[in-house]
Structure 1
Amino acid sequence: MPSRRAFLAAQGALFAAAAAPAGLLAALAANTPPLPRLDDWEAVRGLFRLDPAYLHFSGFFIASHPEPVRQAIDAFRRTLDENPLLTVEHGMFGSDEQNLERKVREAAAPYLGGRADDIALTGSTTMGLALVYHGLQLQPGDEILTTVHDHVVHHEAIRLSAMRNGASVRKIRLFERSADATVEGIVAAVREGIGPKTRILGITWVQSSTGLRAPVRQIADAVAEINAKRSEDQRVRIVLDGVHGFGCIDAAVAELGVDYFCAGTHKWILGPRGTGLV
């Protein structure tokens, strides 16, 4: 898996170059400046247009675009303005070699640790969670288990899915105080919370409310042990809200052991606003 720094360094030019049909690639490349070096902290800080009068700790909300991302967005915008028909027609409906969304997924796959075909592009974590939960084949009587610590958009996606499918929802507490939380205690709470009717476990990688990073791999291992004693139609699947871990923690998503991973890329990945993936 490439490091986060290598992934971020490579993507500005790659996303821009992939955004246009072959006939426009040369012009687009000419309009996109070379990527800067990332081995000097002051130079990296200079890539952001952050107001120096403030100390900025708001990456959890929405990221300031670094210069390579701004340049890639501008290059694509110019390409789209110059030839909207061909850019859209080739970039979205052309061959695999020209398809914009496929190029983005191919660029993201090595960092995620999966394949391009495992990835769907969305507009946000919220959209990804909604798509996943409303695509689940749940039956009346099935249970979705989540935690009291999850974000409201995760809870809403679960609530609406349960209403649609006739499933029930139950929330458990993983700890009383985040400062006292332990890996063993969190995993034990999940084990005890999973019941015979539980089919979905909805959890968060890094909680926006507390900053606590959940031991996702250990939780997934515990669920796998439970699933080993169940039939395929009764196994528990894990849906992970991963937005605040994605790009903030150097871990391959495909190795976390979850079934569905949802994240926005306009936070810690520093991507264009209104982007995300499943």
Structure 2
Amino acid sequence: MALSRRHLLAAPAALATTALLPGPLLAAVAAQTPTLPDLSDWEAVRAQFALDPTYLHFASFFIASHPTPVREALEGYRRAMDANPFLVVERAMFEDDAHNLPLQVCSEAADYLGGKAAEVCLTRSTTEGLALVYHGLPLKAGDEVLTTVHDHYSHHESIRLATARANASMRKIALFASSATASVDEIVGNLRAAVRPATRVVGVTWVHSSTGIRLPIREIAAMLRDLPSPPLLVVDGVHGLGATDETVATMGADYFCAGTHKWMFAPRGTGLVWANAAN
């Protein structure tokens, strides 16, 4: 990807900034939104955050402080909407594709993920994305969803509710004995040994918030593809997206769900699902 970590602050503004808003809507919002600041050095980057200097802030895993470009883009969009609600809503939602704001955001997100706009769904959080994916899967009685004890409550609940509705089942396994000594071979091997003929879906988390373990998604995906009946791979990617130099669309997942208001520093209440178009 051409987008560097240093220039990452410009990316979340894509969810609200003027670069996505063509025609009259672009002009309306552009008039209300300042240009992006110079982010060529880390002091300039740090200065974008209005964080309380009396604290040491290590909580981006929870919810990120909005940097200046995002705060100003949100405020500019709000001013434009207040000035002409009809123009903003009508052109952004109901006109042709060139003026459709959600479609333009999907295109920008796809460029970052390495995929196509048609493969991206906009959500409000990782939780919402996981729920949409699991409840959209064609599970049936007797099917199994295999997940791990390391996954977040929201991931487990999405699986539990979807399998209960379909009269399917869920099973949790440990991928490693100790996070301090976990290896790629141990993780992939334990997962391979746990897959059964009834396993239709495998759900994992890319980066574990509890330990910081980053799962070898590419190796896991390759192992699953080699099985006689490969199960779908669903990835909770919220703690990797924006924090890891990876091209999501080439990792091998079938579904990748992530909020963007953490390591991407995007507006709160934003997220996405990337889905493999082959599915």
Per the TM superposition, whether the score is higher than 0.5 is yes
TM-superposed CA distance for 1:275, in Å, is 0.3
CA change 1:201–1:243 in 2 (3 A) is same
In 2, distance between residues paired with 1:77 and 1:66? 17
Q: What is residue 31 of structure 1 aligned with on the other side?
A: 32
What are the Cα deviations for residues 227-270 of structure 1, in whole angstroms up to 9, with x where unaligned? xx23xxxx300000000000000101101100000000000000
Q: What is residue 82 of structure 1 aligned with on the other side?
A: 83
Q: What is residue 259 of structure 1 aligned with on the other side?
A: 254
Q: What is residue 3 of structure 2 aligned with on the other side?
A: 3
1:132 is aligned with what amino acid? V
Q: What is residue 238 of structure 1 aligned with on the other side?
A: 233
Equivalences, count = 272
1:37 is aligned with what amino acid? D
TM-superposed CA distance for 1:9, in Å, is 2.2
- TM-score normalised according to structure 2 size: 0.94
- TM-score normalised according to structure 1 size: 0.94
CA change 1:54–1:115 in 2 (3 A) is same
SS at structure 2 position matched to 1:180:
coil
- Show the 5 A alignment for 1:51-200: 51-200=52-201
In 1, distance between residues paired with 2:16 and 2:167? 42
Unaligned runs of 5+ in 2: 274-279
TM-superposed CA distance for 1:211, in Å, is 1.0
Q: What is residue 219 of structure 1 aligned with on the other side?
A: 220
Mapped contact 1:120–1:277 kept (Cα < 8 A): yes
Mapped contact 2:106–2:120 kept (Cα < 8 A): yes
* Sequence identity percentage: 57
CA change 1:75–1:242 in 2 (3 A) is same
In 2, distance between residues paired with 1:205 and 1:252? 13
SS at structure 1 position matched to 2:234:
strand
Query: After the TM superposition, which of the residue ranges 18-27 and 107-116 deviates more from structure 2?
Result: 18-27
Q: How well do the aligned residues superpose, as a CA RMSD in angstroms?
A: 1.5
Mapped contact 2:14–2:108 kept (Cα < 8 A): no
SS at structure 1 position matched to 2:141:
coil
- Show the 5 A alignment for 1:40-51: 40-51=41-52
In 2, distance between residues paired with 1:182 and 1:67? 40
CA change 1:115–1:183 in 2 (3 A) is same
Mapped contact 2:32–2:77 kept (Cα < 8 A): no
The structure carrying a bigger helix percent of its residues is: 1
2:146 is aligned with what amino acid? L
2:171 is aligned with what amino acid? R
TM-superposed CA distance for 1:26, in Å, is 2.0
1:121 is aligned with what amino acid? L
Unaligned runs of 5+ in 1: none
Mapped contact 1:18–1:104 kept (Cα < 8 A): no
Q: What is residue 22 of structure 1 aligned with on the other side?
A: 23
Choose which of 259, 265, 272 in structure 2 pairs with 1:270.
265
TM-superposed CA distance for 1:10, in Å, is 4.9
2:149 is aligned with what amino acid? V
What are the Cα deviations for residues 36-91 of structure 1, in whole angstroms up to 9, with x where unaligned? 12221111101000011111000000000000000110010001111112211110
TM-superposed CA distance for 1:14, in Å, is 7.7
Mapped contact 2:60–2:263 kept (Cα < 8 A): yes
SS at structure 1 position matched to 2:170:
strand
CA change 1:204–1:14 in 2 (3 A) is closer
Mapped contact 2:125–2:259 kept (Cα < 8 A): yes
CA change 1:10–1:154 in 2 (3 A) is closer
